[in-house]
Structure 1
Amino acid sequence: MRPSLDCWQGRTEERQKIREWIADGNIRLIGITGLGGFGKSTLAAKIYDDDSAEFDKKFWVDVSRRVTFTELARRVLLRLGLSPPTVEAIPELSLVDALVNHLREGRHLLVLDNLESLLQQDGQGLDAIYKEFFHGWLGCGGKSVILVTTRERPDLPEINLKWLPLPGLSPAEGANLLRALGILGTETELLDFAKKAEGHPLLLTLVAGFLQAEEESDPQISHLQRYGLADVAQLVTNEKLKGLHRGKIDIWMRLVLDASFNRLSDKLQRLLLNLSVYRIPFNTAAADAQLPEENVSEQDLRQLARCSLLQEERDDNGGRWFQFHPFILAYVNQKADDLTEAHQKAIAYYKENAKPEPWQAISDVAEYLEVFYHCYHLGEYENAFNTIRHCDDFLTLQGYNTVRAELYKQLVEAWQQNNSDSWEFAASLNSLGIAYRCLGQYPLAIDYHQQSLAIFREISDHNGEAGCLNNLGNAYNALGQYPLAIDYHQQSLAIFREIGERKGEATSLGNLGIAYDSLGQYPLAIDYHQQSLAIFREIGERKEKASSLNNLGIAYDSLGQHSLAIDYHQQSLAIKREIGDRNGEATSLGNLGIAYRCLGQHPLAIDYYQQSLAIKREIGDPNGEAASLFNLGNALAKLSRKSEALGAYQNARDLYQSMGLDANVQDAENAIQSLSRKTNIWMSLPKAIVSFLLRWVNRLWRLLHTFLR
């Protein structure tokens, strides 16, 4: 949904400049900057609707609606044509690379509206993952263009980007806008007012809305004199405004808003104040939930929109949605007193309209996220926790770890301020640790798990204690501290067995197997994986069963029992394909390639590596792609397909370099140098043979010549 263009006026030069930048071919990011209400979003919408025919596909995202990068990336990738299982399989840490790579493949337009909502308090620093995306795009983007609107200009590399500071409308454009909004007056009157208003589109729109409501039959611009709103120079001398450190346009808009608000009926005033609790666009049903006994209608909302107190939008199906302009929302929030009841009504509305399971996309749990927001705002932290806990497994499986980290961090900070030692606080700390581990922030994850562990022990929650110990083991295992990881997993296993928690027991056994495999103790690893597999089979956990089979295959491969390893990998592959685990499917294919290469069946190994590589590329997993390329190079080298092997090694090296994995870079470099030396020897071999033969032919000729003499 985008701003309405019904009363579009002017901006000819600005549109022409942006069209030139788009046509340039080297400009990857265009930013429209300006004060609130200057029409940045409207200009972007005009470009999107009327000046973007050359793009294959277009995407509009208002990031002020709390759109995480994870959600943005997955939605854009779906609309670019990737299948839902493929998009779901992309690891969250790989989404930046996946989106950059897929945008590079075509000519697309991505509009990010209200980028200032992602900036930190200094007005410069971007949200970390969005910053990574912008840096990645500016550094290696293609023919697609990203267009952003923002009040504050973020700190970005000054390469392949252009900024357009947006001024107010010219007096002529401002006068035309007033006419388009139905305001009457002489040419001189309209031009003079637009000039006084500095061409500020929002102020002109508010004034027009006020006059249309107050002077329905004759909305003359000169009638503003009747309400003391005609000239800002007179307004700033008002005793009520002395001491206000605001710009004159800001003061003028607030006074116009006061006049518009005061003329509303009591019902519409209360409705407007209550609607301010919604942080996302709302329809008539959501509005009616705020005044359930007064039959709020679409006409009520449209009346508020005609006064310019709400913005009206249409969705793709023609449905009407409404939201506040940020400036007007700030004004309404200042007028509102206690909105506790409004938040409670919003909670009831979203609960009633929440989608039941099974959920397919994050939009399916949007109502739960809104319930969380309103509960949190009211300080009902336990209710907020229970709400997010309800969809936590879904968010975890879908890879929305940034969303989980954001939500649990809010709860953790709130409970820390209250010195809480509740189970909910401990569970939130543990979940926050898991989210950060999934995001690769292991020291931070360990810190939260340690805090959680202390509380679970204090309140004698053995299940929670064992879970924390397991999670600590996983974090230390990721850091390569295997003995410490084993110690935590052993403690976890003992507790799970004591309390009879079978799934936890199987998980601990599997984690121990992974740690011992990393230490090279393969028989012991196999024993743990076999125990884990037996329990997962018994309790019917299919995804975990597939992981155990895969881990067994890896361990048997390390022992040289490649045929047995292949059997386990094939079983794992079948389950992963059946449950739609694309990332797991690629992993099993790669492991099969390794096993067949060890058996000397290099053509078959190459086939599996190529299948794995295709999926890793499709889901945007650069680490997995690099590993597949390296393995592919090994198999190609064995078949003496040296130029192909060299190319695979070089591509793997380049990917590892881009990820900063120095040890892997060195491995690839060593393989390249080794293959190059062998190639040089092989290429020089025919010359040596020819030289040898020539020498012997020459010697034989001399002997023959001597004999004949």
Structure 2
Amino acid sequence: MTIAEVLQLADRLVFSKTGKHLDDLQQVVIQGVWQGKSYSQIGEECHRSESRVRDVGYRLWQILSEQLGEDVNKNNFRSTIERLFINSPFINLFNYHHHSFNFCSPISEEPQQQPDIENKVEPKSCYEDLGIAPKINFFYGRNEELKIIDDWIFLQKARLISVLGLSGMGKTTLVKRFVDLNSKSFDVLMWKSLRFPQPLNLLLTEIFNNFSLVNDCVSLNEQTWGKLFDILRQKKCLIVLDDVQNIFTEKQLAGQYKPEYRDYKTFLKMMTEIEHQSCLILVSQEKSQEMKSLNEELYPIKILELTGLYETELLNHQDLENPESWSTLIKLYEGNPLYLQNIADLIKDVFQGDVLSFVNGDELILTEDLKDIFNSLFDKLSKVEQKIILEMSQQNQEFSIETLKEHLSLPSTDLINGLQSLSRRYILRTNPQNKKMFQLSPVFREYLKQGNNFHL
């Protein structure tokens, strides 16, 4: 096909969907992508920002996907068009004037071969397996994050999304809210918890049982992977894995898989590398290397890192007094909904709901429940990480790598890897104004300062 024919084809598809012809920038994007150029190169040539070109591209791929009945993106645009409109003997778009462009099942004069019953996927319409998903009673302040996830899945066709952050930040609540709002947009919804993790082959067996594909426990082989991705291609599935941090090894650097769960690493890579129309959402307190993308144009991977919520609505249902002091309380506990729930219970029990009296005490109090959370977190850290944060807890200040080298007798490699690991656990963060300075969470610092039983 010539580029003129490609533009004519794209124009007809877009016009059929929107009632508008391609504008100049859309034509430039299609031509550039057809020629194998990056969004950055296209932007430079047409004097537009890369982000603007990328947004135009995402919208085009969404329209073409809907019109053609299969996933179209920057990486497969040319191969998809060539397959459908050059190699197929059953389709001639330029003589086709109907407004429905679904070419997934071209009509053939030859009798169709019956599919192997073992590989046939016949789930229930809008199948849901949400039995262990939490019920959301209240939802505050994450509307922007909901929009981001919506755009990633429906506009950018992300196949792997990780929602990350400290315990209690509302990761699970956010994802469940998204599922509740968008349940009708998927053919299949599944929610799996790894609070008590199981090997991947057992999890896949559960999934296959929903489609009556197997009777016994599956093994991880080529046939199993083929069945899984047949499902993910044929149906728009949303699979949520909650508490993913439990498949990582304790007392080592963040994101290292336990031996019995290393198959999940392969699974995450395959989710991004193999073409399909589904999405896997991971909810975790730790980041692993597979959750990151070195090239988003090649691998549709996204990360959403949750930080504190500072809206006073968080405390609306806590039966607390002195609403003018709520902002101070929320800031004191870093906007962490779980921390605030614990402290609200304490204020009601001891201060009769008087928030002003509590914050006037000018002391960061930790409940026993909060200490249990931090004990669990501290125990999972490697020795190097423990040494770093104990040193940082001794002073209420930021630290640079150079300062930490002066205070700690650690090899530079261990120190740098330890800082990266603590950042991947969201215990450390960098100063927004000076990325070379590391900050320790004030609440976690208070826990470390109060502890007197840390033996390294």
TM-score by length of 2: 0.47
Structure with max Cα Rg = 1
Q: Which is bigger in relative contact order (C-alpha 8 A, separation at least 6)?
A: 2
Structure ranking higher in strand proportion? 2
